[in-house]
Amino acid sequence: MSILANKNTKVIVQGITGTQASFHVSRSINYGTNIVCGVTPGKGGSIHLGVPVFDTVKEAVKATGADTSVMFVPANSVKSAVAESVEAGIRLLVCISAGVPVHDMLEIHQILKGSRTTLIGPNTPGLLIPDEARLGIYPENIHHRGRIGLISRSSTLTYEAAIEINRSGMGQSTVVALGDDMIIGMDFVEGLKLFHKDDETDAIVMVGQIGGNFEEDSAAWYAAQKNKKPIVCYIAGNDITFRNHVGYAGDIITRGKVTLSGKKKVMSNSGMIVVDNLNQIHEVLSSLVK
Amino acid sequence: MDIHEYQAKQILKANGINVPAGKVAYTALEAKNVAREISPRGPWVLKAQIHSGARNNGHFVERKAGKGGGIRIAKTLKDVYDNAAQMLGSTLITSQNKPDGNLVSRIYVEAYTKVEHTFYLSMAIDRTYPAITILAANTETDDIAAIIANSQEKIIRVPLDLKGPTKAHSKRIAEFLHLHTKSFDSFHRFVHGLFKAFIKSEALMVEINPAGIRRNGDIFALDAKITIDNRAVYRHKDISSFRDEDDIPPRELKAARNGFSYHEYNNGNIGCIVNGSGLALAMVGMLKGAAACTLNIKGGVDRDKIAAGIKIIATNPKVEGIVINILGGFVRCDLIADGIIDTAAEVGMNMPLVVRFEGTNRDEACNILEQSNLPLIMAESMDDAIAKVLKAVEESE
């Protein structure tokens, strides 16, 4: 089994008629993704990319029984689009849109609280189950099915990490990109939990980034686990580009200045295998099998 | 987007927070005139307006600015004039903007406000919850920088929901700060006003360092820093007029205007063009000090903008070789290839250029570049691209 979705998952696309959405959704359909319909307010009743378009998520869910949605809506409409999907009972939301205002994300978290909906993103290439389903904008040609779970906060480094997994002769069970915004939906802890439960995932590659404490939170969770799947962890960043911010509040929130070396140490102390460069991932993965 | 103290204080005042009387000045003469307007008698406080904190302990680069820091007390109008003349046009370096510092082009003149006690209080977003969180500390004996470094238990953290602080929240914080009970009501109004300002301006941070309590119990924001969410500025006309880009380096500014982000590094000679902030960081790591700058074109899909971006790198005098590493998802490699050709036609490309494409429309992109007859070096992977650009630059020297 993959995590979060598979080839049978019925998928809606919110904002399906946009230029970028059309380009990527038609590729997802060719990939085999079970895209059942689209939603664009005002365009209900039409057919786009060979699937019916509805005015609302509610109508789309009623007509198709879909429980998953990929969002390509403009940044300032993400909040209302999420609210609409949650109300329509969508189980999994993958939000590709970039540039969502931070205060909108605070409200979105309020909306998600107590609902059955999981949000991936925003500002993410999405979710990919190689050879089964492409919920987002992943380049198809670099991903291969295998038994390594891949979870990442970056977009492009996700692809680079997938190439590294391929180099070791392995492939990916599921690829989840969390998005590199300040506030995101699903975090590393939730993703790692799912990969630990998944019997088609033997090991995990995790790509983190400097800024915030998401990686440290996942280290705390991992350290407390009895049955650990191996995690190979790379953190993008250096202490030169991580610029000083105006004011002290940022340093207080993270309980002191976050440095790359400090972050790597926390990850490594939790039992993860931390690599300094991306191109070391394939070597570590190969050595795990031996 | 960071805004200046005097702008932040306008926002605070509009939300019911007490701030000392003050006015901004761009020349020494203006400073003297506004000082007289604010208050017939001194002392006054002169505050350099730059996008950085820790101004008081900062120092100026120029000799003419004298030994004082970025915040000075002036007792007479002549003092106001002299100190303003020293600070204006000088470069202030602080612990938060080192090593380059910021040019001071305006100063804020305020009436000196006598207070009995001071404390630190800010609101920022703790992304782990995620929640707007109040951070506060009593700064009677140590300043906030020292508390962060040595005694974080002296800082209280109170995450809030979107309804804002309740009286119970305010009471808890006031007790932690050892405020006198007679100040509790004005403290709650203060915290509530800050929250209102935070929400209304879509701030990422509002920081008052310090707030001062007057003898009668009134609370004043003696300093103010506000950072606004860049993505939301368009929704606030009044705030977008606060944008001051004087202190942003020209290449960085040009990149930002095209929707890209740009960083420079000391000592290196390789320019990197990538799509993704993580990828930029990873490239810099692998170049081990040879990176001169990185341009992240993010999800750029506009041919003209991409050409403008490549030009920023190609015209940086420190750059002796360029490596373009694009892993197309949203970004389409063929559009980047078009941008490379446009730039080469416009500015010429007389330095080694290594290109690595992977992902969306890679083959189309490689075809476009092959037919262009540009002297490019194609690479297969990130390692390969980095090895090839380092080698090409070394050989061309």
A243 has a pLDDT exceeding 60: no
Cβ pair B128:A214 closer than 8 A: yes
Neighboring chain A residues of B199 at a CB cutoff of 8 Å: 103
A188 exposure class (CB count in 10 Å sphere: 0-12, 13-18, 19+): buried
Placement of tokens 């002296």 in the chain:
B154
Question: Is B120 a catalytic site residue?
Answer: yes
- Read off the pLDDT of each residue in B167-185 and give the average, rounded to a whole number: 95
Residues of B with Cβ-Cβ distance to A109 under 8 angstroms: 130
Three-state SS at B69: coil
Q: What is the pLDDT of residue B276?
A: 87
Residues 209-248 of A with CB under 8 A from B: 209-210, 212-214, 217, 234, 236-238, 240-241, 244-248
Mean pLDDT of A172-198: 96
**A139-289: CATH number:** 3.40.50.261
B108 is a catalytic site residue: no
Q: Which pLDDT band holds residue A67 (cuts at 50, 70, 90)?
A: very high
Task: Return the higher-pLDDT residue of B348 and A161.
Answer: A161
Task: Please tell me which residue in B5, B207, B252, B320 is annotated as part of the active site.
Answer: B207
Closest-CA residue of chain B to A245: B96
User: Which residues of chain B neighbour A264 with C-beta distances below 8 Å?
Assistant: none
Question: What does the pLDDT read at residue B296?
Answer: 92
A11-120 and A139-289, same CATH topology = yes
Of B98, B235, B382, nearest to A278 by CB-CB distance is B382
So where are chain B's domains? Answer: 21-111, 117-240, 250-396
Q: Which residue of A has its CA nearest to B224?
A: A247
pLDDT-based confidence at A99, cuts 50/70/90?
very high
Taking the Cβ of residue B111 and every Cβ of chain A, the question of whether any pair is shorter than 8 Å is answered with no
Considering the domain B250-396 in this protein, what is its CATH number? 3.40.50.261
The predicted structure's pLDDT at residue A241: 56
Residues contacting residue A32 through CB under 8 Å, at least 6 positions apart: A7, A131, A132, A133, A134
Determine how many CB atoms are found less than 10 A away from the CB of residue B380.
11
Q: pLDDT at position A41, please? A: 96
Name every chain B residue with its beta carbon within 8 A of the beta carbon of A246. Answer: 2, 51-53, 96, 205, 225, 227
Which CATH code is given to the segment(s) B21-111?
Answer: 3.30.1490.20
CB pairs under 8 A between A and B: 191
Do β-strands B91-93 and B59-60 pair in parallel, antiparallel, or remain unpaired? antiparallel
CATH superfamily for domain A11-120: NAD(P)-binding Rossmann-like Domain (3.40.50.720)
Q: From the CB of residue B140, how many other CB atoms can be counted at a distance below 10 Å?
A: 12
Beta carbons of A247 and B128 less than 8 Å apart: no
Q: List pLDDT tens digits, range B262-273.
A: 988 878 999 999
Residue of A nearest to B331 (CA): A137
Identical fold for domains B117-240 and B250-396, yes or no, is no
Contacts of B362 in chain A (CB under 8 A): 139, 141
Indicate the CATH number of B117-240 among 3.40.50.920, 3.30.470.20, 2.60.200.20, 2.40.50.100: 3.30.470.20
* CA distance to B81, B119, B152, B328, per residue, from B176 (Å): 41, 11, 13, 52
The confidence band for A210, taking pLDDT boundaries of 50, 70 and 90, is confident
| pLDDT (0 to 100) of residue A245 | 65
Domain ranges for chain A: 11-120, 139-289
pLDDT at A286 exceeding the cut of 60: yes
Q: For chain B, what is the mean pLDDT?
A: 92
The CA distance from B324 to B272, in Å, is: 6
> In terms of pLDDT, which residue wins out, B244 or A108?
A108
DSSP conformation letters of B251-308: HHHHHHHTT-EEEE-SS--EEEEESSHHHHHHHHHHHTT-EEEEEE-TT---HHHHHH
From CA B300, how far away is CA A104, in angstroms rounded? 23
pLDDT at residue number A290: 63
